Amino acid sequence: MKLSRAVPTSLVALLCGCNAPAPTVAASQPTLESIAPAFSDEAACGDWPQWGRDASHEGRTCAVGQKAAELLDDIVFDPFVPAEAADGDGLIVHYQTPLIADDDLYMEVKSGTYTACDPPGSGTPDGCGPPATWATEVWNEVRYEISDAGKLTKKWSFASDWKPEPFYGFEPVFHGALSGAFVYVPGAGGTVYKLDRRSGKVVTRINPFGSAVNPNIYVAGPITVDARGNVYYNALALDPWYPQYADAQGWLVKVSARGKVATVDYATLVPGFDPEQMCNVGYYPPAFALPYPPLNPDGSVVPAPRYRCGPQRPSLNIAPAVARDGTIYVVSHAHANQSYSYLIAVNADLTPRWASSMRGLVHDGCGKSVPEDGDVNPLDCTPGAPVGIDPYTGEAPALSATDSSSSSPVVLPDGNILYGTFTAYNQYRGHLAKFAPDGTFIGAFDFGWDVTPAVVRHDGTYSIVTKDNHYTYDAEGNDAGPYYLTRLSASLEPEWQFLSTNTESCQRDAAGKVTCVSDHPHGFEWCINAPAIDRDGNLYANSEDGNLYVVDKNGHEKTHFFLNEALGAAYTPLALDRRGHIFVLNGGHLSVLGQKRCD
C-alpha cells in the first residue's frame, strides 16, 4: 500500500518490515540558496543526462543516494563480455554512462554478432576479435522506465549504424546525451541522430559533412549538451586502408539548440603545430637495450628516434567540456604520436582561444621519486641519467592524451580546468593536470590515467575526488597496489585517502550463493573512470573486487554492495537518479542498487 508522505519514515519502516526508501529530490531538495554554489541547471539537478552529469563534468548530483542495500534490478547490456574479456586478456571496452531524465533511463545495449578468436586473443580465424568483429556488432540506445522501486521496463530500442574507430586497444565509446525532449545518439559518418525521447523515433539526422554518409568519418567520443541546449561532439576522418598511419582529420562539431550546425578543423585549433615536424617516438627493443635512456660516453643522452608527427586531431573518447561562459574545452594529439598533446580552449563561435601543449610540464622522472623500498632510482634509469627526464624518451616528460583513455576535461568551480593524462614512467599512473582559464599550467597530481574526477563543493571552495591506483607488483608478480580513492584540495594536495583493503575474490553463482577465497593480500584496483558525488558529498565508486563502495565526505566507508568479481574489468562510470537509485556497470550488466520499497 502507499502511505502518505506525512507518515514518519521511521514508522513506515517499522510497519512494512523493510528499509524505507530515500526521499526523492522533490521531497528533500534544499533551497537553491543552500547549495553552495547553486547548480547551473537547477530544474534538472537530479537527472544524469550526459558524461560527468553536466557540461562541465563535475560528476555531482543534488539527489541523495539511497543506501546500497538491495539489488533492485539487473539487465545485460553487453552480452559479449566473456568473449571480449578472453580476446582482450581483460575487458578493454569503454561504456556509456547510464543517462537519466525524470523517470527514464537510456542505456547503450549491444547486439549483433561477436566472433570469438580460437584460441582467445590469437586473431584467428579471420574476422574474429576486436576490431574486426565490430563490423558485425550493433550499438543500440534503449529507453527504460524506472519505477519507484527501481525496476526497469523496456520502452523502445533504437539500432544505430555507428561503428567504433578501427583501432586496437580499448573499444571506443558509444555515448549519447539527453537534452529536453530529445536524446542525441551517435551515428555512422560523423552523424548524430536526434530522437524523440518518449517514442525513440528519429526527428532528424544531423550530418555536418554533406548529404551522403561517409563511412570513414566517425563520431569520436561522448556527446555533450550545455545548459542552453547546444550539442557538441568530435568527429574524426580516417583513411580506410591505413587508419592508424595515414593522416587523419578531426573536427569539433557544434549544433545549436535551433539546429544550426557549425564545425572547426582541429588543425585550426592548434595553429602553431606543424604536422611535418619530427616527433620523439622513444627507445624500444631490440634497437635499444635496457636500462633507458641510453647514454653517450660523455654522459649525454642518446637522442631517441623520431618520426613525422602528422596532424593534430581529437583524442578518442573525449567529451567536450563547456564552461558557464560558453568556452569549450577539448583535447587533441598528433595522429602519429599521442605524446604531442594539447588542451584546447575554443570560443562559443568555434574560433580558437588558446592551445596549451602538455609536453615538458612536469619533471618527476629519473631520480626524482623515492618508492617504499628506498630505491632513489625507481624507474631503473641508466645510472647518471639527467634528473627528472622520462627514461623512455630521454626528454622532459610529456603528458599524453591516449586513444585508450576515457578521460575528459573538467571545468572546476573557479574556472580552472583538469585533465587526466597518461605517463608510462611513473608506473603507468599518468598525471592529473590543472590549467588556468588562460591556458597556464598550474600543477599536477601524479595520478591521472583514464579518469574524469568528480567535484565536491563545500565551505566556499571545492575538492576533487579521483581514483589513485598504484600499478606495482610483488615478488611473485601479483598486483601489489596500493589502491586508493583520493580526495584532493583545490590545490591538488591530498585531503584523505580511502584504501582498498578487501583481500577476497568472490563469485556469485546462478542461485545467488557467494563463495570467496582470500587471494588479494594487497587489495583490488578501483575500476572507475567517472565517480559520482551526491548532495551530501558521498562518493560512489566501483572496484575490481566486484563491490560498489559508498564513502562519506570524510573518507570513511558507509557501505558496500557485492555484485560479482570484476577482475580485468573495464573502467566504467556510474550514475544516480532523482530518487537516489544507484546505477552501476559490472561485467556487461547494469545493476540498480538501493532500498526495497514497501509498496
Asked if pLDDT for residue 358 goes beyond 80, the answer is yes
The alpha carbons of the chain give a radius of gyration, in whole angstroms, of 24
Q: Hey, what's the cell of 82?
A: 566473456
Q: Hey, what's the cell of 409?
A: 576535461
Distance, in Å, from the CA atom of 545 to the CA atom of 565, rounded to the nearest integer, reads 5
Distance, in Å, from the CA atom of 176 to the CA atom of 98, rounded to the nearest integer, reads 10
The average pLDDT across 246-253 equals 98
Report residue 497's pLDDT band, with 50, 70 and 90 as the boundaries. Answer: very high
Q: Cis ω on the peptide bond leading into residue 30 (within 30° of 0)?
A: no
Q: Hey, what's the cell of 236?
A: 574524426
Q: What integer pLDDT is reported at residue 529 of this predicted model?
A: 95
Q: What integer pLDDT is reported at residue 379 of this predicted model?
A: 58
The average pLDDT across 522-532 equals 95
Confirm if 452 and 529 have CB atoms less than 8 A apart.
yes
Asked if pLDDT for residue 4 goes beyond 50, the answer is no
Distance, in Å, from the CA atom of 515 to the CA atom of 507, rounded to the nearest integer, reads 6
Half-sphere exposure in the Cβ direction for 170 (13 Å, CA): 22
Measured in whole angstroms, how far is the alpha carbon of residue 37 from the centre of its chain?
25
Element (H, E) at 435: strand 431-435
Share of the chain above pLDDT 70, in %: 90
Asked if pLDDT for residue 130 goes beyond 80, the answer is yes
Q: Which of 428, 509, 496, 421 is nearest to 465 (CA)?
A: 496
Write down the mean pLDDT value for the chain. 90
Distance, in Å, from the CA atom of 13 to the CA atom of 17, rounded to the nearest integer, reads 6
DSSP letters for 38-51: PPTTGGGTT-B-ST
Share of the chain above pLDDT 90, in %: 84
DSSP letters for 442-472: EEEES--TT---EEEEETTEEEEEEEEE---
Q: What integer pLDDT is reported at residue 567 of this predicted model?
A: 73
DSSP letters for 302-363: PPPPEEE---EEEPTTPPPEE-TTS-EEEEEEETTEEEEEEEEEE-TTS-EEEEEE-BS---
pTM, whole model, 2 decimals? 0.92
Q: Hey, what's the cell of 439?
A: 591556458
Q: What integer pLDDT is reported at residue 15 of this predicted model?
A: 30
Burial class (CB in 10 A: 0-12, 13-18, 19+), 320: buried
Integer CA distances (angstroms), 496 to 7, 292, 298, 573, in order = 39, 35, 46, 22
Q: Which residue has the higher pLDDT, 313 or 33?
A: 313
Report residue 159's pLDDT band, with 50, 70 and 90 as the boundaries. Answer: very high
Distance, in Å, from the CA atom of 111 to the CA atom of 88, rounded to the nearest integer, reads 19
Q: Looking at this protein, which amino acid is placed at residue 584? A: V
Q: What integer pLDDT is reported at residue 566 of this predicted model?
A: 79
Distance, in Å, from the CA atom of 391 to the CA atom of 294, rounded to the nearest integer, reads 9
Report residue 28's pLDDT band, with 50, 70 and 90 as the boundaries. Answer: very low
Do strands 572-576 and 528-530 pair parallel, antiparallel, or not at all (unpaired)? Answer: parallel
Q: Hey, what's the cell of 226?
A: 550545455
Q: What integer pLDDT is reported at residue 368 of this predicted model?
A: 66
Burial class (CB in 10 A: 0-12, 13-18, 19+), 482: middle
Place of cell 574474429: 128
Distance, in Å, from the CA atom of 204 to the CA atom of 263, rounded to the nearest integer, reads 18
The average pLDDT across 200-207 equals 98
Q: What integer pLDDT is reported at residue 167 of this predicted model?
A: 87
Per residue in 298-354, pLDDT (tens digit) is 999 999 999 999 999 999 999 999 999 999 999 999 999 999 999 999 999 999 999
Report residue 148's pLDDT band, with 50, 70 and 90 as the boundaries. Answer: very high
Asked if pLDDT for residue 499 goes beyond 50, the answer is yes
**Roughly how many angstroms between the first and final C-alpha of the chain, as a whole number?**
5
Asked if pLDDT for residue 101 goes beyond 90, the answer is yes
Element (H, E) at 9: helix 9-16
Q: Which of 587, 591, 584, 588 is nearest to 507 (CA)?
A: 587
Q: Hey, what's the cell of 514?
A: 557467494
Report residue 140's pLDDT band, with 50, 70 and 90 as the boundaries. Answer: very high
Q: What integer pLDDT is reported at residue 11 of this predicted model?
A: 29
Q: What integer pLDDT is reported at residue 380 of this predicted model?
A: 79
Asked if pLDDT for residue 13 goes beyond 50, the answer is no
Q: Looking at this protein, which amino acid is placed at residue 501? A: T
Q: Hey, what's the cell of 318?
A: 573525449
Q: What integer pLDDT is reported at residue 266 of this predicted model?
A: 98
Q: Which residue has the higher pLDDT, 565 or 523?
A: 523
Asked if pLDDT for residue 175 goes beyond 60, the answer is yes
Per residue in 459-486, pLDDT (tens digit) is 999 999 999 999 998 887 788 999 999 9
Residue 36's CB is within 10 A of a number of other CB atoms, namely 12
DSSP letters for 113-140: -----SSTTS--STT-STTGGGGGEEEE
- Strand, coil or helix: what is 269? helix
Asked if pLDDT for residue 7 goes beyond 80, the answer is no
Report residue 41's pLDDT band, with 50, 70 and 90 as the boundaries. Answer: low
Q: What integer pLDDT is reported at residue 587 of this predicted model?
A: 93
